[in-house]
């Protein structure tokens, strides 16, 4: 959980300066845009509750898997809060690359071809709700989109993409990269540089990074910086993580100054990755395997691990009654494959 909140923050401006969205500086994880404060507050409160129950590395690994969509979701209903049909269709077309894959058991469902689904807070639940008007590019991670945000709230933002006048903009690799990166988060992906197997943390020039991000326009405090930049903890996460993948669409571009060895660092990339890498592909197939039995088993294992912590917390009096975690993360209704 710790990892979740700031993942979204960083993303917010990671790939700015696209043709579509004005002239923000390209690699400026700034305070300009990020996860809405209201969501952060809810998540921070939940993270505190989890930490109070169990703050071990093992527990953190278990918590990190809560973002994965349970097997009751054969697909995710995506809706748009704004945008023309033409533009929303383009976003849908690009994002669908993630789940256009016979080896996995989750799909992105955008509704009718040619007129993608519009968000309706009073209608059936949509799991991914796309907005364009908020600052930055960001997405809640996986199931967090239905736990920490209400139906009338966006879960994924692509600032200004609805202003595109030329549809050729969506053929640009960097525009496709933003869409794929954010939908990667919506499917439950974390940032590659924060993978516990990445070694990027050791290669970072922390003095430079802290100094840079502490200054305007970010004005981040040290905890926020560590949160964004340091590796995710968790034994289980190590099992889930792949070897560092420099081609991942989830890898964040940082300037050479961020690294002790500059451009010679193995984490340095010249520009953002804009396509789903083979390792991204195998990771998502691992998270949502085509074999339904396997997906059910993984889910049951995660639930059992979490329930151990939850039950123990009742005994020790450290359970917070504010959020019913088992209900929120394991009690979802889901969406069947043949549902509209
Ligand atoms: Zn991101």
User: Residue 28 has what pLDDT?
Assistant: 33
Ligand 1 centre distance from Cα of residue 138 (Å) = 7
For the stretch 274-320, pLDDT in tens is 999 998 999 899 999 999 999 999 999 999 999 999 999 999 989 87
> Could you tell me the strand order of the sheet in which 156-158 lies?
107-109, 75-80, 128-131, 156-158, 137-139
**HSE-up of residue 14 (Cα within 13 Å, Cβ side):** 35
Q: What is the DSSP string of 21-73?
A: STT--TT---TTS-S-HHHHHHHHHHHHHHHHH--SHHHHHHHHGGGSPPTTB
The answer, yes or no, to whether residue 193 has pLDDT greater than 90, is no
- The CA–CA distances, whole Å, from 186 to 4, 142, 152, 266, 268 equal 11, 4, 17, 27, 25
* Predicted pLDDT at 250: 85
Q: Taken in order 339, 78, 67, 44, is the CA torsion positive or negative? A: negative
Specify which of 33-37, 56-60, 214-218, 299-303 reaches the highest per-range mean pLDDT. Answer: 299-303
Per-residue pLDDT at 20: 34
Number of H helices, E strands in the chain: 13, 7
pLDDT exceeds cutoff 70 at 138: yes
How many whole angstroms from 313 Cα to the centroid of ligand 1? 32
Lookup: tokens for 317: 């009096």
The rounded Å distance from CA 141 to ligand 1 centre is: 9
Instruction: Find the range with the poorest average confidence among 133-147, 195-209, 316-330.
Output: 195-209
CA distance 307 to 166: 51
pLDDT for position 242? 61
pLDDT classification of 269: cutoffs 50, 70, 90: confident
How far, in Å, is the centroid of ligand 1 from the Cα of 11? 4
Average the pLDDT over 98-124 and give the result. 94
Task: Specify burial of residue 23 (Cβ count, 10 A radius: 0-12, 13-18, 19+).
Answer: exposed
Tokens of 297: 């088993």
The pLDDT score that the predictor gives to residue 239 is: 47
- Cα 86 to ligand 1 centroid, rounded to whole Å: 25
- Does residue 18 have a pLDDT over 80? no
Mean pLDDT calculated for residue range 89-110 = 94
Q: Are the C-beta atoms of 219 and 32 separated by less than 8 Å?
A: no
How far apart CA 43 and CA 1 sit, in angstroms, is 8
Distance from the CA of 250 to the center of ligand 1, in angstroms? 6
| pLDDT band, very low/low/confident/very high, at 189 (cuts 50, 70, 90) | confident
Half-sphere exposure (Cβ direction) of 228: Cα atoms closer than 13 Å: 28
CA distance linking residue 7 with residue 24, whole number of Å: 20
pLDDT of residue 240: 52
Q: Residue 207 corresponds to which tokens in the numbers above? A: 């003095």
Q: What fold, for 2-43+51-164+172-287?
A: Collagenase (Catalytic Domain) (3.40.390)
CA 185–ligand 1 middle distance (angstroms): 7
Cβ proximity of 244 and 192 under 8 Å = yes
To the nearest whole number, what is the mean pLDDT of the chain?
83
Residue 231 pLDDT > 50, yes or no?
A: yes
Annotated domain spans of the chain: 2-43+51-164+172-287
CA of 312 from ligand 1 middle (Å) equals 34
């Amino acid at each position: 959980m710790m990892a979740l909140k700031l993942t979204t923050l960083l993303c917010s401006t990671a790939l700015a300066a696209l043709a579509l969205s004005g002239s923000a500086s390209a690699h400026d994880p700034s305070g300009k845009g990020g996860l809405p404060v209201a969501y952060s507050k809810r998540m921070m409160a939940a993270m505190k509750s989890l930490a109070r129950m169990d703050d071990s590395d093992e527990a953190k690994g278990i918590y990190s898997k809560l973002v994965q969509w349970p097997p009751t979701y054969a697909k995710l209903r995506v809706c748009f809060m704004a945008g023309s049909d033409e533009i929303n269709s383009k976003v849908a077309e690009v994002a669908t690359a993630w789940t256009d894959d016979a080896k996995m058991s989750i799909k992105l469902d955008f509704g009718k071809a040619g007129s993608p689904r519009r968000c309706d807070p009073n209608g059936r639940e949509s799991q991914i709700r796309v907005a364009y008007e908020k600052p930055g590019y960001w997405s809640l991670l996986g199931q967090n989109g239905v736990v920490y945000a209400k139906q009338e709230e966006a879960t994924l933002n692509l600032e200004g993409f609805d202003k595109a006048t030329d549809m050729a903009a969506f053929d640009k690799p960097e525009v496709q990269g933003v869409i794929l990166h954010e939908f990667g988060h919506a499917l439950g992906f974390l940032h590659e540089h924060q993978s516990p197997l990445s070694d990027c943390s050791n290669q970072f020039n922390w003095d430079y990074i802290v100094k840079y991000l502490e200054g305007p326009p970010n004005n981040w405090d040290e905890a926020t910086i560590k949160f964004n930049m340091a590796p995710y903890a968790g034994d289980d996460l190590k099992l889930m993580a792949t070897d560092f993948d420099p081609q991942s669409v989830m890898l964040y571009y940082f300037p050479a100054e961020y690294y002790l060895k500059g451009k010679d660092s193995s984490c340095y990339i010249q520009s953002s990755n804009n396509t789903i890498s083979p390792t991204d592909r195998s990771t998502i197939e691992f998270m949502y395997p085509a074999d339904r039995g396997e997906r059910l088993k993984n889910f049951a294992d995660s639930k059992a691990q979490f329930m151990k912590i939850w039950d123990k917390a009742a005994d020790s009096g450290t359970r917070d009654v504010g959020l019913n975690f088992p209900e929120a993360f394991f009690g979802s209704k889901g969406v069947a494959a043949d549902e509209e």
